[in-house]
Amino acid sequence: MFTFARRSPFEWMNQMDAIFGRSFEPDGSSSGAAWTPACEVYARDGKAVVRCDVPGVDPGDIHIAVRGRTLTISGERKATEEVPGADYWCREIAYGSFERTVTLPEEVDAKAVKATYRNGALNVEVPLRKELTAQTVPISVEQPALAA
């Protein structure tokens, strides 16, 4: 029996970014390259919630902007330690700038947006004007006109 996992339609783009972002570096590293934090976006209690994993990023280096229906989270993870002359066996931690943009279902009041940072996770709560609900749409069937 097969089971299907629910996946984001953009998940393949993140996978391609991860593959190509690492392969362009001669040593397979991604230091200094842009990176993309993993995010979840969902609705709960009349709010859109955006949760991003940003471990190692100083909260002072994260910027959140709201314009119309667009929420943009950007920032930078800075290298914390220089290791001159080191021969790395493995380099998988990406440093540098990042940016994530989420299109919200409706315009929001930017002053009502709240953000918290805890244990390397950024949570942004955006109050929505109404609860998001699914709605069914009836289909009317039209009969073709009979030829005279």
Which tens digits make up the pLDDT trace of 87-108?
A: 878 878 888 999 999 998 888 8
Residue 3 lies inside a defined structural domain of this protein? no
Residue 120 lies inside a defined structural domain of this protein? yes
Residue 33 CB burial class (10 angstroms; 0-12, 13-18, ≥19):
middle
Distance between CA 93 and CA 30 in Å, rounded? 7
Residue 2 lies inside a defined structural domain of this protein? no
Dihedral (Cα; 96, 101, 107, 111), 10-degree rounding = -20
Which tens digits make up the pLDDT trace of 62-88?
A: 999 998 889 999 999 988 777 778 887
Residue 140 lies inside a defined structural domain of this protein? no
Contacts of 53 by beta carbon, 8 Å cutoff, 6+ apart: 37, 38, 39, 120, 121
Residue 4 lies inside a defined structural domain of this protein? no
Which tens digits make up the pLDDT trace of 17-52?
A: 555 544 344 334 344 447 899 999 998 888 899 999
Number of domains in the chain: 1
Give me the CATH number covering residue 62.
2.60.40.790
Domain extent at residue 36: 11-80+90-127
